[in-house]
Amino acid sequence: MPTVVVVGTQWGDEGKGKITDYLALESDVVVRYQGGPNAGHTVVVNDEVFQLHLLPSGILYPEKLSVIGNGVVVDPEVLVKEIQGLQSRGRDISGLRISARAHLIMPYHRVLDALQEESKGEGKIGTTLKGVGPAYMDKSARVGIRVADLLEPDVFIQRLEANLRDKNRVLKYIYGREELEAGPIIESYLKAGEILRPYITDTAILINRAIRQGKKVLFEGAQGTLLDLDHGTYPYVTSSHPVAGGACIGAGVGPTRIDEVVGVAKAYTSRVGDGPFPTELNDEIGNWIRETGHEYGVTTGRPRRIGWLDLMMINYASVLNGLTAIALTRLDVLCGLDKVKVAYAYRRGGQVITEFPASFRELADCEPVYEEFPGWPEIDPAAKSIDDLHPNARQFVEFISEKTGLEAAIISLGRARDQSLTLRDLFG
C-alpha cells in the first residue's frame, strides 16, 4: 500500500512541482487534491520547461494516471488551454482523469475575487485573482456548480441562471458593476465540457482501486502549510487545505491509506501576497536570492518576498502534516553566499518562543533567532551521496535534520529531473 503525500511546508513555491515530478517517475497514479489555477508548478524535462497550474505534475509521464481530485476547483477554460498547450508540444495527455465532483470556477468568481480584494484596500490578501476563494465560498454555501454539471446542459443552465440572479445583484448594487450575461458563459463552459468529457469520472473509486491493487499513488499538494485555511497565517491564506489531511478529503481516501508524508522545504523562504514574515530579507541579500532563484510568481509574475529558512515554520508544518521526511530544494540557489542563516526559534518581548504563534500580530512581533553557517561555493548537480556535497552544505542539511528530527529523503540539486539526490526511497 505505498502511498505518498507531498506537501509544501512554507508559503507555497517550495519546489513541489520538481519533487512531485521526480517521485511521479516511480508512481502509477498522481493526484492533485486541492487548490486550483492559483498554483504554479515548474517542471523541467530534458531542458524543456513546463509550467503547470491545474494539471497534476504526473501529466508529463504519458503512461501514468494523472488525477484532478474532487477537492480541486477547476476553471474549465484554464484547464482546456493547459491541455491544448501540452498537446501542441506533442505531449500525450490520455492519462488525465477529472473528478465529476470537483467544483467549477465561474467567470463571476474571478470578477468577485478582484472586487473583494479591491474593497479591502490596504488589508487586501494579495490573492492570485483566479477566483479560487469565491469558488470555495460557493462550494461551502452549497450553491457551487460542479464538473458533473458540465455534462448535463439543462442542469448547468439552471444552476448558472440561479447563481447569476444572485451574483448580478451583488455586482450591480454592492459594487456598481455591469451584470454578467448567461449566454456567453453557457456557450464557453459547455464547449469546454465537451472537450473535458472523456476525462471526467468518479476519481475516488479509481484511486481507491489503485491503492487496493498495491499501485503506487502520489498525492500532490498545491500551495503550502502556511497558506492552509485552518492552519496557515489566517487571513493571509488560500481557501483550501494544502495540509496532508486535505489529501483524504480532496481525493476521497481514508487516513488509514496514507503511508508517507514528505514535506517540501526550500533552503530559504519565500512568500507572495501580504502578511507577516519573520525572516524576511528587505536587503541586498534578499534581492540577490530573488534574482538568482528567479523568484517571481509562475501564476501572477509578482516578485516574491524572500527570507532565510525558518525552522519554527518547518516544525509547525511537521506536526500538522505528520511529516515522515523532508525534501530539501534549492540549495543550489544559495551557492556563492558568504553566510547562510537559519532561524530555529523566535524572540518576542525578551522571551524565547518555541511554538509558532496563532495570532498574526504576535507573529509580526517575532524576532527570529538565527544560527549562521559559512556558505558553499557550489553544489554538484550530479552528486550521488550526501558526501558529494560541499561540507558547508552538508552541515546546513544536518542542522535542519537535527532541529526538525526529520531526515532529508530527497535533496534537489538543480532544476532538472535528474538533478536530485535520493537518500531514502519513499515508495520502498
List active site positions: 13, 41
CB crowding 117-132: b at 16 or more within 10 Å, else e? beeeeeeebebbbbbb
Q: Quick one: cell of 33? A: 487534491
The whole-angstrom separation of Cα 190 and Cα 183 is 11
The residues, ordered by sequence, that sit 6+ positions from 152 with a Cβ below 8 Å of its Cβ are: none
Q: Does 228 bind ligand IMO (CB under 6 A)?
A: no
Report yes or no: 200 and 98 within 8 Å, Cβ to Cβ. Answer: yes
Pairing of strands 268-271, 305-310: antiparallel
**Per-residue binder mask for Mg ion (CB under 5 A), 241-280, x = binder:** ----------------------------------------
Size of the site for ligand IMO (CB under 6 A): 24
The whole-angstrom separation of Cα 228 and Cα 238 is 6
The whole-angstrom separation of Cα 119 and Cα 123 is 9
The single residue among 3, 57, 127, 318 that binds ligand IMO, judged by CB under 6 A, is 127
Q: Does 133 bind ligand IMO (CB under 6 A)?
A: yes
Q: Does 40 bind Mg ion (CB under 5 A)?
A: yes
Q: Does 374 bind ligand IMO (CB under 6 A)?
A: no
Q: Does 13 bind ligand IMO (CB under 6 A)?
A: yes
Contacts of 255-260 with C-beta under 8 Å, sequence gap 24+, read: 257/1, 257/3, 257/208, 257/211, 258/3, 258/5, 258/219, 259/1, 259/2, 259/3, 259/4, 260/2, 260/3, 260/4, 260/5, 260/324, 260/325, 260/426
Of 126-134, 139-147, 161-169, 173-181, which segment contacts ligand IMO by CB under 6 A? 126-134
Of 32-40, 140-148, 233-241, 259-267, which segment contacts Mg ion by CB under 5 A? 32-40
Q: Does 329 bind ligand IMO (CB under 6 A)?
A: no
Q: Does 289 bind ligand IMO (CB under 6 A)?
A: no
Other Cβ atoms less than 10 A from the Cβ of 149: the count is 21
CA torsion sign, 61 to 321 to 305 to 339?
negative
Of 128-136, 152-160, 197-205, 418-426, which segment contacts ligand IMO by CB under 6 A? 128-136
In terms of Cβ atoms closer than 10 Å to its own Cβ (0-12, 13-18, 19+), residue 93 is: middle
Smallest distance, ligand IMO to C-beta of residue 316, A: 17
Element (H, E) at 311: helix 311-321
Q: Does 74 bind ligand IMO (CB under 6 A)?
A: no
Q: Does 220 bind Mg ion (CB under 5 A)?
A: no
Looking at the Cβ atoms of 219 and 344, the one nearer to ligand IMO is 219
Looking at the Cβ atoms of 159 and 304, the one nearer to Mg ion is 304
The single residue among 3, 70, 128, 279 that binds ligand IMO, judged by CB under 6 A, is 128
The single residue among 19, 27, 40, 330 that binds ligand IMO, judged by CB under 6 A, is 40
Of 261, 347, 266, the residue nearest 310 (C-alpha): 266
The single residue among 144, 193, 246, 273 that binds ligand IMO, judged by CB under 6 A, is 273
Residue whose C-alpha cell reads 476563494 in the numeric block: 133
Q: Does 15 bind ligand IMO (CB under 6 A)?
A: no
Of 7-15, 56-64, 201-209, 306-314, which segment contacts ligand IMO by CB under 6 A? 7-15
Binding site for ligand IMO (CB under 6 A): 8, 11-13, 38-41, 125-128, 130, 132-133, 222-224, 227, 236, 238-239, 272-273
